[in-house]
Amino acid sequence: MTDTNELTRERAIQTAQNEIVLNAAYIDGNWLTIEAPSTGSDNDKDHALYDPSSAEVIATTRLCTNEHVAMAVNAASTAYASWSQTSTHERAHYLNAIADTMAQRFDTLVGLSVLNNGKPIEEAKIDVSDAIACYRYYADIITNQDTWSEVTTSETGIRLLKTYAAVGVCALIVPWNFPMVTTSWKLAPALAAGCTVILKPSEVTLLPELMLGNILSAIELPKGVVNILPGAAEVGAAMTSHPLVDKISFTGSNVIGEKVMSQAATGVKDISLELGGKSAIVVRADADIDNACDLIIGGIFTNAGQICSATSRLLVHQDIAESLFETLKTKAESLCIGDGFDTATQMGPLVSEQQFQQVKRYFGIATSENLDCITGGKILDRAGYFVTPTIYKNVPVSSQLWTEEVFGPVLVSQIFKDDSEAIHLANDSKFALAATIVSADETTALTMALQLQAGHIWINEQQIVLPEAGWGGFKQSGIGRELGADGLSAYQKSKHVLLTH
């Protein structure tokens, strides 16, 4: 699964310059040039794309306007009539074709992700592999979904049949932390269900996302079925408020998620939201300390902590706390921080100047709150958006770092005396997306999992996310589920037909 493209920054930049269509939106199956505005407003400036490892500009492009949104929605609305009536086998064919083409361009997509997102090569490889697996999964699941199923009723002389219909035209808004992955989580089930799509990738990480337009053209997906709009917040708002949009799926911050939900109320649009997290990792007294520390590090320092499910709150049993913190400090300080194209790198930079400043601000809050920093808490004196892996010990539950999502490599911790206290601390959050339990006693861990308020729980495992497993949380972590059969259901509505026997 490779295109034999050498994974170097130079090759990735060459791809960005020669293959990515910049200054354009993908509408109705074609790249439409975004013309430079003739006015003199701030919105006329070109949009810069950065290499987070150097903070240097990789490329400049222009972003869409509300006019492009209208064109894209009209194209999707027109295409819906025919696409929604295609056979499940035809839709599966296109989903597999997307996966096949991504596999053929595997190294190219990995290189673009490293270049524009900053993540280490091995993490980017996992991302592209996960996206490919997601398209294949929904190709398989839609092929095996019965067109009609008979429902058992208490009445005689009648039959009740059930089928599924696509929800309609969908506005998909994805974040910058997992380019291609979150897109696949939304786009694959939407296409499988028979929906047409307007997709807004994050304007921060456009390079790997825009390659999708080339892929869709290469596989000859029918025109208008997928439209890609590189745009800022106003484009997202125009999408979510458009009267011809039937469903919105948004992944991002709670602040923006609440605005999206408000906009969806007009016209009573279907909505899915995957929002913030402040997930807990619970390490019981019987846990293997070395393995527990590896799981803790994977849960908070992968992707430089820029993960909605990051287990950023550590709860450790008092009997092993001292030994665990000593081992954890050593392991955190031994992580190789650097350029994602360096195969030795284990943690890359933050994605942008904005994210860099946010994490820096939380370092300042930690200092003002006199938190006990056992390692890190610093920005690195080098080019790019680099900060240290950071761990705070015995953090009060009233601390902003305990209650708020930092979205960076920042771990806060508390010590507990028994399982009931650990469960209480884990659940004492407005978020409830994920959790990890580390314990030698699987039965006890499963019992604890039933009591934890979280949509996805790992026991003695890194944060592996399978296409088959529904993804989403409780409380303010969102509405609905992605992935698995639930992910397909999010883009379908059931229909029932009653007829005589």
Count of CB atoms within 10 A of residue 253's CB? 15
Residue 39: C-alpha distances to residues 35, 52, 61 (Å): 12, 31, 17
Distances (CA, A) of 406 to 138, 253, 302, 458: 33, 11, 14, 21
Active site residue 274: yes
- Within 10 angstroms of residue 252's Cβ, the number of other Cβ atoms is 21
Q: Which of 123, 203, 274, 405 is catalytic?
A: 274
| Residue 123 bears catalytic tag | no
Q: Parallel, antiparallel, or unpaired: how do β-strands 158-166 and 492-500 relate?
A: antiparallel
At 348, which amino acid appears?
G
Provide the terminal-to-terminal Cα distance of the chain, rounded to the nearest Å. Answer: 52
Give the active site residue among 308, 373, 405, 482.
Answer: 308
Please check whether residue 377 is in contact with residue 366, taking contact to mean a CB–CB distance below 8 angstroms.
yes
d(CA 387, CA 450): 36
Phi, psi of 200 (to 5 degrees): -115, 100
Contact 172, 200 (CB under 8 A): yes
Q: In sequence order, what are the beta bridge partners of 412?
A: 313, 392
User: Residue 164 is which amino acid?
Assistant: Y
Enumerate residues 6+ apart whose C-beta is below 8 A from 122: 343
Distance (Å, whole) CA 415 – CA 315: 6
Q: Are the C-beta atoms of residues 202 and 175 closer than 8 Å to each other?
A: yes
Active site residue ranges: 274, 308
